[in-house]
Structure 1
Amino acid sequence: MNGLRRPRVNCIHLLILFLLLVAIPGAAFAQGDAAGMPENARAKNYGGGWECDRGYREIDAICIPIKVPPNAYLNPSGDGWKCDQGYRKDTEACVAVKVPENGYFAGSSSGPGWKCDWGYRKDNEACVAVKVPENARLNYSGWECIQPYRKQGDKCRLPGKN
């Protein structure tokens, strides 16, 4: 009976030895990847090397803090920032969206951040009334002629008449 147990014990020892040989080089490589790792960094979860901690950005192999301006927050991935609602990005700052009269906040952190009310159009930083000629009606891009009239310049005319 003792003779039958011995091979099983040897197999277990061989299995343990094999697992140790496989695991030890992985640990050695993980330590090698961390060598030369800058402050505010951590070893990558997958693959070799390192990556900056949340709130830091890699520049020239070092991790520098991300400067989040007033009225902004760190983005979900932690490698940049976004402006709060009601503000838009302007280079490295967040500026308040100035909604003109006859306009409304559009909820965008880029572009002007506002749109004009129905019946108004954007003109520089203002919303001006759309001038609708006779025999026309408002549409999303300004105005359009009512059938059977056709657009001719800034008027609506019957086809074949000047």
Structure 2
Amino acid sequence: MIKNKYQGMFCAIFVLFAFISGIVCAEDVPENAHNKRYGSGWDCDQGYIAKNKECLKIVIPQNAYLSDYAYGKGWECLHGFKEEKNNCNPVHVPENAFLNMSGETWECARGYQQTKDNRCVKVDVPEHGYLSDQSYTTGWACDRGYRVQDDTCVQIKVPAHAFLDDGSYDTGWQCERGYEEVAQSCKKIILPENARLDYSGNDWECNRPFKRKDNTCLRSKGR
């Protein structure tokens, strides 16, 4: 009997505590807010933003819209407008340009290049050249077999026993294997005794245990 009495009291206290907790939790939710679907806490209603445990109405400037992001100002500028001092000002797109994917800035159309004063001027492509997005300074590059010289493309003079090489920025060509560059020409490599061509194919090195000295391969001392 006593046991049942204490059990009843415990159940009553538990129910009362749960009821009071529910009231406290409900009171903790500010105006213009709602409880989260999962877990504890609350979120502001749409059109409101949390600040100092309150939900304040979001003031949306002209040319903006409510943002779904939980953090930040609660609004974003429309495509074609850019935020400046809590306003959304239109992006000025100069002639021969277009809005980029972000909608907050612009890019010059192909064949045009941006200047320091934010204009898009036509790229002057020289003869034997072509438009290139990889060339940020000029906007153009030379055809294969030509190299840049000032504002023109001059033909690369490839000597005998050489081939065009885009990796050789100074000359534009490289000697064939077994030849070395000498005074803008390719000279055949004469291998001394106990030597072989190195990994590049344009020079030589000594076989082990020989060491290179001038144009010969000498045996290392102590071997």
TM-score, structure 2 normalization: 0.54
1:48-67 CA-to-partner distances (Å, cap 9, x unmatched) read 52222211111222222111
What letter is aligned with 1:51? E
Residue matched to 2:79: 54
What letter is aligned with 2:88? C
Against the structure 1 CA distance between its residues 144 and 110, is the aligned structure 2 distance closer, same or farther, given a 3 Å change threshold?
closer
What letter is aligned with 1:46? Y
Q: Is contact 1:97–1:113 with CA below 8 Å preserved after alignment?
A: yes
Residue matched to 1:151: 181
Q: Does 1:42 align with 2:42?
A: no
Where does structure 1 lack aligned partners over 5 or more consecutive residues?
A: 1-17
Q: Pick one of 105, 111, 114 that aligns with 1:86.
A: 111
What letter is aligned with 1:59? E
Task: Tell me, in whole angstroms, the C-alpha distance in 2 between the residues paired with 1:28 and 1:134.
Answer: 76
Where does structure 2 lack aligned partners over 5 or more consecutive residues?
A: 1-25, 27-31, 36-42, 50-54, 192-223
Task: Tell me, in whole angstroms, the C-alpha distance in 1 between the residues paired with 2:97 and 2:112.
Answer: 8
Against the structure 1 CA distance between its residues 144 and 126, is the aligned structure 2 distance closer, same or farther, given a 3 Å change threshold?
same
Against the structure 1 CA distance between its residues 149 and 47, is the aligned structure 2 distance closer, same or farther, given a 3 Å change threshold?
same
Task: Tell me, in whole angstroms, the C-alpha distance in 2 between the residues paired with 1:109 and 1:139.
Answer: 18
Task: Tell me, in whole angstroms, the C-alpha distance in 2 between the residues paired with 1:100 and 1:124.
Answer: 11
Against the structure 1 CA distance between its residues 155 and 108, is the aligned structure 2 distance closer, same or farther, given a 3 Å change threshold?
closer
Displacement after TM superposition at 1:88 (Å):
2.0
Against the structure 1 CA distance between its residues 28 and 59, is the aligned structure 2 distance closer, same or farther, given a 3 Å change threshold?
closer
Q: Which stretch has the larger CA shift, 100-109 or 70-79?
A: 100-109
Q: Pick one of 48, 73, 80 that aligns with 1:29.
A: 48
Q: Pick one of 94, 113, 118 that aligns with 2:139.
A: 113
Percent identical among aligned pairs is 37
Task: Tell me, in whole angstroms, the C-alpha distance in 2 between the residues paired with 1:62 and 1:109.
Answer: 36
Q: Is contact 2:64–2:78 with CA below 8 Å preserved after alignment?
A: yes
What letter is aligned with 1:131? K
Structure holding more helix per residue = 1
Q: Is contact 1:134–1:156 with CA below 8 Å preserved after alignment?
A: yes
